[in-house]
Structure 1
C-alpha cells in the first residue's frame, strides 16, 4: 500500500519505454514519493522492463494507477503542474522545480490534492495536456540542448519535493564523536600558547607584543575548533616544550 504521507501524485503521460517508467519509479522512491499514475503507456501494462529497471522500487509499479487520458488521471486533483520546456504563448504561472515544489508543499499541507504531469520521451507534453494544468514547471537547462530524459525530470522534481520538506541540510559537519570547543576552552588554549611563546621570546619587539597577542587571539577565535582539536593543540605545545627541554 502507498504510504499515508501527504504528497503529490506524479503522472507519466503516455510513456514510451518501460525502462524509463522503472527509472522514474526508482527516482520517486529515492525521495520518498510513491504515488505514481500512468496514462496510456505505449508498450502496455504491466511492463517487465519497467520492473527490471525499478530495482527496489517495484512496489510503486505494482501500486501505480492506470488511466486512459490526462483528464482522467488528474480528475480528482485540485491543482496540477505540467513539466514542459515550452512556455511561450501559455498564460499560466511558470515555476522552477524548486519554487513549484515549495508551492506544492504548501498546497498539500493545506489539504489539496496535487499532481505533476511528465510528458512522453519523444516530444514531451502536448498542448492539450498542458491545457489541463494550472501551472507550469520548467527546468533552467542549456537552451541549445533542452531535452531531459523522463526519469531525469522526475528525479529533479522529486528532489525538490524532498528539499521542500526540510530534508537534507545544505551543509553539515560530521563531528566524529566530539563537540565544538567552548569559548572558555579556546581562551585557555590561547593563554597556553601565549605563555609558552612568551617564554620562547616570540613576542618581539616588546612594543608590538600587544598587537601580536591580539592577532593570535583573533586567529584562535576564527578557527572552528572542536574539543578534540583543542586537546591536540595543547598536546602539541606541551610536546614542543618537552622536546626543547631535552635538547638543553
Structure 2
C-alpha cells in the first residue's frame, strides 16, 4: 500500500499548494490506450516494461481513495490519458478557465500556446516548475505550437520515438525558425540523409500531437472547486487498506 499512500499524500500536498479553490481532475491511461498510436508505429512505447500485476490492484485502490476523497477521475476506454487531458483542457478553455496540467510529460507543452494554460512540474526547482509558452520558447527556442514538429525531429525517448538521425535540439530549433512546421522548412536546408527519414518524421509528429476532441461525458467539468483531501493515512484506514 506504499504506492497508494504516496499517491494520496502527494496529490493532497499538490492540491493544497497549487490548486486550492480549483476543480481537480485525475486522469488515467486506459489499458488499451496506446493501441492506436502503436498501430502507426509498432516501436511506440515498446521500450516500456510490462506493468507488474500488482499495479492494477494498486490502481483500483487509488480510485477508491479518490472516490472517498471526492476527487473526480476518469479512465476513458481506448484513450491515452494525455488525450483526455488535452480534451479537458480544451473544454475548460472554451469556458474561459485557466488550467494547470500537473505532469512531467513534455508533450503537454503543445497546449501552452494558450496563455491560460500552464504545465506544473513539481519535480523541478520551485522557480522553474510552472511552465508556460514563454518558458518553452526561452528554453527550446521554438513556440508551443511547434512542439510536435520539434519533438518529431529530435525524438522522444520516453515514447521510443527516435527522431531524425543527426538532428539535435539546436538544429531542430534552427530549422523551425525558417518555417512554422515541417512542411514549411525550405528544402535547401534539408540534408539528403534527413530527407530519407522525413516521411517518418511526419508520422511521428501526428503521433505526438494530442487529440483534443476525445468523446467524453458531458458533465465531466462542473466548475466546482474540489475540497481539500483528508490526510492519506485517514483515507487508507477508512478503506481498511492499512
Q: TM-score, normalised by structure 2?
A: 0.21
- Between 1 and 2, higher relative CO (CA 8 Å, sep ≥ 6) is seen in 2
The structure number with the bigger radius of gyration is 1
The structure with the largest strand share of the pair is 1
Q: TM-score, normalised by structure 1?
A: 0.21
